[in-house]
A and B are shown apart, each in its own frame.
Chain A
Amino acid sequence: MSIFYFVAFLSIFFALMTIFAKNPVHSVLYLVITFFTFTIHYILLNAQFLAIVNFIVYMGAIMVLFLFVLMLLNLNKDTEPLKSNLVKVMGVIAGMCLLVTLAGSFRVLQATGVDIVENTEIGLVGNLGKVLFSEFLLPFEISSILLLTAMVGAVLLAKNDPKNA
Chain B
Amino acid sequence: MESALLLEKTILVVAVFAITLFIAMYSTLVERKVAGFMQARFGPDRAGPFGLLQPLADGGKFFFKEEIIPAGAHKALFIAGPTIAMFTACISSAVIPWGQELTIGDRVITLQVADINVGVLYIFGVVALGVYGIMIGGWASNNKYALMGAVRAASQSISYEIGMGLSLIALLMVTGTLSLKEIVAQQEGFVNWNIWVQPLGFLIFIVCAFAECNRVPFDLAECETELIGGYNVEYSSMKLAFYMFAEYINMFVSSSLMAALYFGGYNFPFMYDLGLSQNWITIIGVLVFFAKILAFIFFFMWIRWTVPRFRYDQLMRLGWKILIPLAVANIVLTGIVTIVKDTYF
Asked if A8 is at the interface of the complex by the 8 Å CB criterion, the answer is no
Residue contact A56 to B118, C-beta cutoff 8 Å: no
Interface stretch of the complex, out of A10-18, A65-73, A97-105, A140-148 = A65-73
Asked if B5 is at the interface of the complex by the 8 Å CB criterion, the answer is no
Residue contact A49 to B118, C-beta cutoff 8 Å: yes
Main secondary structure of the interface of B (DSSP, over half): helix
Main secondary structure of the interface of A (DSSP, over half): helix
- Complex alpha-carbon distance, A49 and B119, angstroms: 10
Residues of B within 8 A of A68 (CB): 135, 151, 154-155, 158
- List the B residue with the shortest CB-CB distance to A53: B121
How many whole Å from A150's CB to the nearest CB in chain B? 15
Residue contact A64 to B118, C-beta cutoff 8 Å: no
Asked if B59 is at the interface of the complex by the 8 Å CB criterion, the answer is no
How many whole Å from A110's CB to the nearest CB in chain B? 34
Residue contact B117 to A60, C-beta cutoff 8 Å: no
Count of A interface residues, CB-CB < 8 Å: 21
Residues of A within 8 A of B233 (CB): none
Residue contact A64 to B122, C-beta cutoff 8 Å: no
Residue contact B116 to A59, C-beta cutoff 8 Å: no
- Residue from A55, A59, A124 having most chain B Cβ neighbours under 10 A: A55
- Complex alpha-carbon distance, A124 and B158, angstroms: 26
- Complex alpha-carbon distance, A53 and B178, angstroms: 13
Assuming the A-B contacts A68-B154, A71-B150, A71-B151, are A61 and B132 also in contact, with contact meaning beta carbons closer than 8 angstroms in the complex? no
Asked if B298 is at the interface of the complex by the 8 Å CB criterion, the answer is no
Q: Mark B86-117, 1 if CB is under 8 A from A, else 0.
A: 00000000000000000000000000000011
Asked if B139 is at the interface of the complex by the 8 Å CB criterion, the answer is yes
How many whole Å from B134's CB to the nearest CB in chain A? 10
Residue contact B151 to A125, C-beta cutoff 8 Å: no
Q: Which of A19-35 contact B (CB under 8 A)?
A: 25, 29, 32
- Complex alpha-carbon distance, A53 and B128, angstroms: 11
Asked if A52 is at the interface of the complex by the 8 Å CB criterion, the answer is yes
Q: Mark A110-148, 1 if CB is under 8 A from B, else 0.
A: 000000000000001110000000000000000000000
Asked if B147 is at the interface of the complex by the 8 Å CB criterion, the answer is yes
Residue contact B124 to A56, C-beta cutoff 8 Å: yes
How many whole Å from B151's CB to the nearest CB in chain A? 6
How many whole Å from B155's CB to the nearest CB in chain A? 6
How many whole Å from B227's CB to the nearest CB in chain A? 15
Residue contact B117 to A64, C-beta cutoff 8 Å: no
Residues of B within 8 A of A71 (CB): 135, 139, 147, 150-151
- With beta carbons under 8 angstroms apart, the residue of A29, A49, A53, A126 that contacts B136 is A29
How many whole Å from B92's CB to the nearest CB in chain A? 12
Residue contact B158 to A64, C-beta cutoff 8 Å: yes
- Interface residues of chain B, those whose CB is within 8 Å of chain A, are 77, 116-118, 121-122, 124-125, 127-129, 131-132, 135-136, 139, 147, 150-151, 154-155, 157-158, 161, 178
Given contacts A56-B124, A65-B158, A125-B117, 8 further A-B contacts (CB under 8 A): A32-B132, A48-B118, A49-B118, A55-B125, A60-B127, A60-B161, A65-B154, A68-B135
